Amino acid sequence: MRLSRFFLPTLKEDPKEAQIVSHRLMLRAGMIQQSSAGIYSWLPLGFRVLKNIERIVREEQDRAGALEILMPTIQPADLWRESGRYDDYGKEMLRITDRHERDMLYGPTNEEQVTDIFRSNVKSYKNLPLNLYHIQWKFRDEVRPRFGIMRGREFLMKDAYSFDLDYEGAKTAYNNMFVAYLKTFSRLGLNAIPLRAETGPIGGDLSHEFIVLADTGESEVFYHKDLLAQKTPDRDNYTAEELQEIVDQWTSFYAAADDMHVPEKCDVSDADLVTRRGIEVGHIFHFGEKYSNAMGATVAGPEGKDVTVSMGSYGIGVSRLVGGIIEASHDDDGIIWPESVAPFKVGLINLKSGDGACDAACDDFYGKLLDAGVDVLYDDTAGRAGEKFAKMDLIGLPWQATIGPRGVKSGVVEVKSRSSGKKQELSVDAALDLLVGKS
Amino acid sequence: MRLSRFFLPTLKEDPKEAQIVSHRLMLRAGMIQQSSAGIYSWLPLGFRVLKNIERIVREEQDRAGALEILMPTIQPADLWRESGRYDDYGKEMLRITDRHERDMLYGPTNEEQVTDIFRSNVKSYKNLPLNLYHIQWKFRDEVRPRFGIMRGREFLMKDAYSFDLDYEGAKTAYNNMFVAYLKTFSRLGLNAIPLRAETGPIGGDLSHEFIVLADTGESEVFYHKDLLAQKTPDRDNYTAEELQEIVDQWTSFYAAADDMHVPEKCDVSDADLVTRRGIEVGHIFHFGEKYSNAMGATVAGPEGKDVTVSMGSYGIGVSRLVGGIIEASHDDDGIIWPESVAPFKVGLINLKSGDGACDAACDDFYGKLLDAGVDVLYDDTAGRAGEKFAKMDLIGLPWQATIGPRGVKSGVVEVKSRSSGKKQELSVDAALDLLVGKS
């Protein structure tokens, strides 16, 4: 993509309304624009990151055997009356009346909706286990939306729902998602810690939240230093026993958020206890029969009797992760994207746009990168060199390749790694090898 | 995907509530489930088709130089008060009051929202031309939602918005989208006819709608028989002149919907005039300064003076196209998917699941198709042969491959084309070659 044809409205000054670094950098990098309080438009750069995160989340759900569906944003209130949550939910639920005076709502989550799909279609234990997920916009009418897309009102979430014949089956489904989450966050370049959590309004008796470590995180977490030394699972098709072993291993280390951590009761030595800040990016729940019972989701069991299915739900904050990754990966100059989610892999800087030789060398290098399938943002604009470097640092592409008049003469491209800051002067071919990923 | 692990709740009987064939077949094929009037969940089979259509629409927008963004579903009423449409829109607009008593709405379209993004960020003619698009859920509170997702309330639409310095520039942007639409519908396996259209509530002085031909279509269309003999444009980066030539050529033939067709005024001979039925799947508008004027979207022009930008908007009904394609491509047995949007390319039928030799041959064939990157739905269930064939015909995958005890002995796979009905008995290798697409 040529920058001259892209839409990248960056800001040189820090916007006043942004209190946290991810909000500030997303506004400065032209990733989002506020539409109203807690509601944002995603501009091209931000949209590309959002899509990359969504893709990785989807791939790991698919690998885990979950099936993708798409439930609507607007739900009928009657479904929520069946579970009793229509009254429980309070003012965070955006309530809507349609033209025929029917009570509707903008879904804040989908337990009722998916249970309705299940009970309408699945009649036999033979169709179990089943895990249905979707990636859809949700709405929670926060009283004080803040921190940009980190605590917005309209947000993109992946939510999966598992259905099993009994508690043990649902436990395996839960463990399966636990392991999928470890893989997902690892691919996103994040250190994520699973914490035993309260189940809150979702209900149930087993729950973990996944916290991404970031110095600027919203809450404090305490954990045993060996926790993050665990190997991330990397295989598919683990057996139920293997899943349980992985979960047991990851949960054998102490880990607690500030609201659960009681220093007197924590038996980890001071030398082993790490205190960091973190951001919640995922939450999984085993809630058994809470919704299937209230809504009559049963199947014919192996002995012919009706069995109420055992359920769990599994959320990942897809749009929130954009902010979470920035909180975890930035410096004073801007964002540092992990390669897996970067909006482009390479930023190509033409140091003297308008100079014939320089333009020709850059155009040629750009074409070669495109031919090799590399996503490139090519700054072909007339800006000053200093501005171009600052903009590339701000938007945080993993690699910067710079070609100027001096380099054209000597056949040299300067390649910089955004994360390490390391610069190398390379021949065109060596630079291509590095950026295409052959070397 | 093994059918035993998929979620495909097909129906044997026609559902009573469905009046048109696409609605009937989508319910019978387990593609959608109604949530409330005019609002549907997309089940795995339907979701896969929706995503394939979305991907093709996106690729053609990207090829045309449009930049993808994502605007929120919930918009502030104040934006629509600026254009005057908040009062104009009537009861089709879903109006919402949030917890702070602010007037909001679920966007039925996005002219105001995108004009706000433009005026906040673009200050100079040097950043033009610009075309921003998004693929997002919309809501129109139809008084009588019907025909399944064809006239639903919550629907997925691609809408693009172009910004140019003057009328001529906007005309080129319009022609560019016109040509992109011809390419898009062709890739979707559709015959689409551009018709000169009324601009209606969007406004402006130039508009075309794109009508897909289907015997079961909602409206009647009249056109010169040579219209569909035109070559679909296949290149990228046409010049403004080339774009105009293509549009001129396509619009040189008579074409009109029933509300515009006046037999006495139509100068096409009866021998040349074709009458068919059709479904609207796209609509493009050149409306000039209607919104930019009302909302103050100006840029500094080449001579330094502020210039009000000239705009157009370009919609494709992505979810509607799922129904439109079925209306255009089905028979008495079910859906016939064009390969480009099919949920799977191949349906593999095991005629005797549970038989060791049959299972082994099917598993082996399945593995080889997967290894070759072919999307396969493998019916490994215990159903009867007749039921399995009927289900595959119903869901309309382009190719069926059947392996039974007789074929296992003779090393033969029966391959059937869903569209032609032609069956061939082939060796395993020849069947693979055909299905992988080498032969």
A55, A74, A380, best to mutate vs chain B, most B CBs in 10 Å: A74
| Domain ranges in chain B with CATH number 3.40.50.800 | 346-436
- Which residue in the block uniquely carries the two structure tokens 């959002």? A50
CA-CA distance, A185 to A192, in Å (whole number)? 6
Neighbour tally for A418: CB within 10 Å: 24
pLDDT at B233: 96
Q: Is A189 left (phi over 0), alpha (psi -120 to 50) or beta?
A: left
Q: Do B72 and A7 touch (CB under 8 A)?
A: no
DSSP B166: S
Chain A hits for B96, CB-CB cut-off 8 Å, are: 94, 96, 106
Residue bearing the bigger pLDDT, B241 or B205:
B241
Q: Do B76 and A35 touch (CB under 8 A)?
A: yes
Q: What are phi and psi of A76, to 5 degrees?
A: -80, 140
**Residue A262: band (very low, low, confident or very high) from pLDDT cuts 50, 70, 90:** confident
A42, A67, A105, A114, best to mutate vs chain B, most B CBs in 10 Å: A67
Give the angle A183-A189-A195 at the CA atoms, nearest 5°: 60
Q: Is pLDDT above 90 for B200?
A: no
Give the chain A residue nearest B45 (alpha carbons).
A69
Distances (CA, A) of A251 to A179, A193, A248, A278: 12, 10, 5, 18
**pLDDT tens-place string over residues A396-439:** 999 999 999 999 999 999 999 999 999 999 999 999 999 998 65
Give the chain A residue nearest B70 (alpha carbons).
A42
| Domain ranges in chain B with CATH number 3.30.930.10 | 3-335
* Mean of pLDDT over chain B: 95
Q: Is pLDDT above 80 for A290?
A: yes
The terminus-to-terminus CA distance of chain B in angstroms comes to 24
Q: Is pLDDT above 70 for B160?
A: yes
Q: Do A139 and B94 touch (CB under 8 A)?
A: no
pLDDT at B202: 62
Mean pLDDT of B102-110: 98
The secondary structure element, H or E, covering residue B136 is strand B130-139
Reading the block at residue A150, the tokens are: 């980190």
Give the chain B residue nearest A155 (alpha carbons).
B72
Going B367 to B369 to B373 to B377, the CA torsion angle's sign is negative
pLDDT at A201: 63
The CATH classification of domain B346-436, taken from the options 3.40.50.300, 3.30.70.560, 3.40.50.720, 3.40.50.800: 3.40.50.800
Dihedral, CA atoms, B43, B46, B50, B51, nearest 10 degrees? Answer: 70
Among A6, A69, A91, beta carbon nearest to B42:
A69
Nearest CA distance, B202 vs chain A (angstrom): 21
**pLDDT tens-place string over residues A56-78:** 999 999 999 999 999 999 999 99
Residues 6+ apart with CB under 8 A from A417: A398, A399
Distances (CA, A) of A280 to A185, A232, A327, B33: 12, 19, 12, 33
Among B50, B69, B120, beta carbon nearest to A47:
B69
Q: Is pLDDT above 60 for A376?
A: yes
| DSSP 3-state of B127 | helix
Give the angle B285-B287-B288 at the CA atoms, nearest 5°: 135
Nearest CA distance, A162 vs chain B (angstrom): 13
Q: What are phi and psi of A371, to 5 degrees?
A: -60, -30
Reading the block at residue A122, the tokens are: 């699945």
Chain center to CA of B209: 14
> In chain B, pLDDT over 90 holds for what percent of residues?
89
The CATH classification of domain A3-335, taken from the options 3.20.20.370, 3.30.930.10, 3.90.45.10, 3.40.50.970: 3.30.930.10
Give the chain A residue nearest B7 (alpha carbons).
A67
8 A C-beta contact, residue B203 and residue B285? yes
pLDDT at A363: 98
pLDDT at B201: 63
Q: Do A41 and B117 touch (CB under 8 A)?
A: yes
The residues facing A293 across adjacent strands are: none
**Residue B412: band (very low, low, confident or very high) from pLDDT cuts 50, 70, 90:** very high
* Mean of pLDDT over chain A: 95
pLDDT at A393: 98
Residues 6+ apart with CB under 8 A from B379: B3, B347, B348, B349, B350, B353, B388, B391, B392
